[in-house]
Structure 1
Amino acid sequence: MSEFTVRGRYPARFGEQEFETTVDAPNADVAEERVYTNFGSQHGLKRTQIDIDGVDA
């Protein structure tokens, strides 16, 4: 598994909140999916509310 850095933003109480997180995944697509699931469960967001700007290896 490789480590990917995922950057993006999501709506928070006082405007948009930017994030940058690292995820262990076999490829970039799986890393993006894991960010959707993690942020969705932690912050109560739907996939359409999370904007991913980029995934770097």
Structure 2
Amino acid sequence: MSQFTVSGQFQSRDGYSEFQTVVDAPNENVARDRVFSNIGSQHGLKRTQIEITEVSAQ
């Protein structure tokens, strides 16, 4: 599996909060899905409230 750096922003009480995280995934689409799942569960958000701006392989 490869490592991907995923960055973007999500809705919070004070507007938008930026994030950058590293995930292990076989491809870019799976990396996006894992970030949606992780951030959504941590912050109680739906996928529509999370915006991914960049996915890059390391």
TM-score by length of 1: 0.96
How many pairs align? 57
Q: Give the unaligned 5+ runs of structure 2.
A: none
* Residue 32 (structure 2) aligns with: 32
Aligned AA for 1:51? E
* Residue 2 (structure 1) aligns with: 2
Q: Give the unaligned 5+ runs of structure 1.
A: none
Task: Say whether 1:53 aligns with 2:53.
Answer: yes
How many Å separate the matches in 1 of 2:11 and 2:40?
12
Moved over 6 A (4+): none
Once the two structures are superposed, what CA deviation does each residue of 1:24-56 show, in whole Å capped at 9, x if it has no partner?
A: 000000000000000111100000000000100
How many Å separate the matches in 1 of 2:31 and 2:50?
14
Task: Say whether 1:42 aligns with 2:47.
Answer: no
RMSD: 0.5
TM-score by length of 2: 0.95
